[in-house]
Structure 1
């Protein structure tokens, strides 16, 4: 499956990032859409036209400093009561894969649970923008994090 994704990523007209993500299948159906997209044992995603802006916004968010965890995480919290935005965000490499998958599948709706500070959502939105269609529905129980993500989405 992941080998096919790597092959499809190579067909996009954007420049490649140097990062590679190793792929290990736990269970694979060679006939599934995902397995047909990822055919190598690594994924080497391409940057999109939105990647630099998204990463700049992510760094601006990180400059806000540590933000409080949602109270629902208090019982399982071993890392303190706050998190830096960079500690809970998706990487740019994975974000570019999200954008690619949205471009390839062209979903009408994407649902994201655990928006955090909105970085992964911005990568989903980049794919939606490149497709000129689709909607993103996000959910984040932490009011502080959700407000930061919402402000970032509108920048």
Structure 2
């Protein structure tokens, strides 16, 4: 314990060592606070830039929403449909409800949905055999197979 107490009484050029250590710590804390404030200033500047970017993007989004609402106006779409595509509004006589769909289905004739069956490929009759020379020869008929009723 006496070694620790000597730290308080030891002098370096007329100044106690503990005062010198305290002075170094104070200057270190002052430097650290200044450095932290500088970093904080950079962070605030960066946050202000990000806020400005967000505001610019929000303005652009609002402008795009206005443009979409102008492009989706029913009058404009109807004029484009009739002018460019020669489309017309649906005649009320052609409208129906769910119960009328079966009636329309029965009265409307349409092409069958089933595709015609493909024709089988033409092959030589099964009882002819083609030899290596290209000549056709009659092949012997296979023997019929009978299955007996007993256990196999």
- The interval holding the TM-score normalised by the smaller chain is under 0.3
User: Where is the strand percentage greater, Structure 1 or Structure 2?
Assistant: 1
TM value normalised by structure 2: 0.16
TM value normalised by structure 1: 0.15
User: Where is the helix percentage greater, Structure 1 or Structure 2?
Assistant: 2
- Point out which structure has higher relative CO (alpha carbons under 8 A, 6+ apart): 1
